[in-house]
A and B are shown apart, each in its own frame.
Chain A
Amino acid sequence: MERLSQLAINDEGFIFDPYTGNSYATNRTGILILNELKNGKSEEEIAKILSEKFNVEHSAALKDVTDFIEQLRSLSLL
């Protein structure tokens, strides 16, 4: 979580990791998930926010959140 809080994320989805110098690009959903993770929200809570905001099934939103978190782990950002 410490690494996550150090990430610089702009409104357009450009992410810079000051620890490694790596940069990434994500979409609107990714930005939302990242910001909510930074706020300390759980996967379930983030999925709820997503399903309300984008009007999608909770199960589909949860799958997206889980996939995204898995990607963050594989990039050692979580």
Chain B
Amino acid sequence: MKKMCIGVTGINAVDNPGPGIGVIRGLKECEDLNVEIVGLAYDAMEPGIYMDWLVDKSFILPYPSTSEEEYISRLLYIKDRTGIDMIIPTLDAEIPLFIKSKEKLESYGIKTFIPSQEQFNLRSKAKLEETSSKIGIKTPKSKTVTSYDELTKAVEELGLPVMVKGAFYKAYRAYTHQEAVGFFRKIVAEWGYPVIVQQVVSGEEMNVVGVGDGEGGDLGLVAIKKLWITSLGKIWTGVTVKNGKLFELAKTFIEKTLWRGAFELECIVDHDDIYLIEVNPRFPAWIYFATGVGINLPSRMVKRAFGIDFDNSTEYEAGKLYVRYTYDIVTDLSLFQKITMKGESL
């Protein structure tokens, strides 16, 4: 098979890891794909740059918040240098930029497999309640707030405890009004407005990862329960589960939104009631778990993008354990020098 060159972002395999390394492991382990990986990083210290058994070449990108023009011209430069055929963006903040520039990238021979702007908007935390009610999925009540007064009103209406969440990142559980105010201020200082206040529903927290084909079908699904999380709330150990109702919810979500691309659904399961609490428009950082149980979603996504046939079954074993671990690399300073001085590893 002809070698494909795939660019992957989120290679910051740190204590709050990006999904990139998990995605790359899936692509490299797929026996019927022949891939060269270009790591797309935002900082010379991102560990993926130095993981040469997974990442073949690396480039530094400007932050998505700088300018669209600068960002895209950097990608086109990387296309010239490496012949990149496809990019898998894995970080929330960069997805809107890729959505906007999808056609332009395609015209230069760079494929993506991402949701549309409309689909991306539907799952935003501020709109989730409205979307869920339209497609017949339960979700906790939530309020979008932009001031202290609105926060107070939202807490009164929803009743304590509440979840206080940033529009993109961070979520805290507040048991008192004072705590809610503290978390509100913390999120605003770090991420700005708006802040979402969400009702707390009790039950087991479970997650589903999948890829929508853009036509109402899926390329595979895997459901897990996190068993142990870090102080940053990131999974450290988990277990696969098989819960028919959870799959039903995921399939309804895909069918009704015609979702295209990777997603992670965060759900609360309370006996027969399942609440959707968040939709992440990308692979989660634990995506290698799916590959490890036989559902190699990153490789399926690439195959779909290139029109290669594959088996999209969702047959995996429940009770498979995921254990994350840390690792050390000792390497020469020359690669760090190249990345710092030239912005690329070539």
Contact residues of A with B, CB < 8 Å? 8, 16, 18-23, 76
A76 to B311, CA, bound (A): 35
A42 to B64, CA, bound (A): 64
Q: Is B319 touching A8 in the complex (CB atoms < 8 A)? A: yes
Q: Is B241 touching A19 in the complex (CB atoms < 8 A)? A: yes
Q: Is A20 touching B318 in the complex (CB atoms < 8 A)? A: no
Q: Is A19 touching B243 in the complex (CB atoms < 8 A)? A: yes
Q: Does B204 contact A (CB under 8 A)?
A: yes
A23 to B320, CA, bound (A): 12
- Closest residue of chain A to B242 (Cβ to Cβ) is A18
Report B208-238 CB contacts with A as 1/0, cut-off 8 Å: 0000000000000000110100000000001
A21 to B223, CA, bound (A): 10
Chain B contact residue count (CB 8 A cutoff): 15
Main secondary structure of the interface of B (DSSP, over half): strand
Which residues does chain B contribute within 8 Å of A16, judged by CB atoms?
239, 318-319
27 of the cross-chain contacts (CB-CB < 8 Å) are: A8-B318, A8-B319, A16-B239, A16-B318, A16-B319, A18-B241, A18-B242, A18-B243, A18-B318, A18-B319, A19-B241, A19-B243, A20-B204, A20-B241, A20-B243, A20-B269, A21-B204, A21-B224, A21-B225, A21-B227, A21-B239, A21-B240, A21-B241, A21-B318, A22-B204, A22-B225, A23-B239
Q: Is A21 touching B206 in the complex (CB atoms < 8 A)? A: yes
Report B28-49 CB contacts with A as 1/0, cut-off 8 Å: 0000000000000000000000
A26 to B240, CA, bound (A): 22
Q: Does B134 contact A (CB under 8 A)?
A: no
A19 to B243, CA, bound (A): 5
In the complex, besides A18-B243, A21-B241, 12 extra interface pairs with C-beta distance below 8 angstroms are A16-B239, A16-B318, A16-B319, A18-B241, A19-B242, A20-B204, A20-B206, A21-B206, A21-B227, A21-B239, A21-B318, A22-B204
A8 to B206, CA, bound (A): 19
Q: Is A20 touching B319 in the complex (CB atoms < 8 A)? A: no
Q: Which of A8, A18, A19, A76 has the largest number of chain B CB atoms within 10 A?
A: A19
- Closest-CB distance, A39 to chain B (whole angstroms): 22
The 8 closest A-B pairs by CB, nearest first: A21-B225, A18-B318, A21-B241, A21-B239, A16-B319, A18-B242, A20-B204, A19-B243
A22 to B238, CA, bound (A): 10
Which residues does chain A contribute within 8 Å of B204, judged by CB atoms?
20-22
Q: Does B2 contact A (CB under 8 A)?
A: no
Which residues does chain B contribute within 8 Å of A20, judged by CB atoms?
204, 206, 225, 241, 243, 269
Which residues does chain B contribute within 8 Å of A76, judged by CB atoms?
271
- Closest-CB distance, B292 to chain A (whole angstroms): 16
Which residues does chain B contribute within 8 Å of A23, judged by CB atoms?
239
A8 to B242, CA, bound (A): 12
- Closest-CB distance, B111 to chain A (whole angstroms): 35
- Closest residue of chain A to B269 (Cβ to Cβ) is A20
- Closest-CB distance, B318 to chain A (whole angstroms): 3
- Closest residue of chain B to A23 (Cβ to Cβ) is B239
A18 to B318, CA, bound (A): 5
- Closest residue of chain B to A16 (Cβ to Cβ) is B319
A49 to B88, CA, bound (A): 60
- Closest residue of chain B to A8 (Cβ to Cβ) is B319
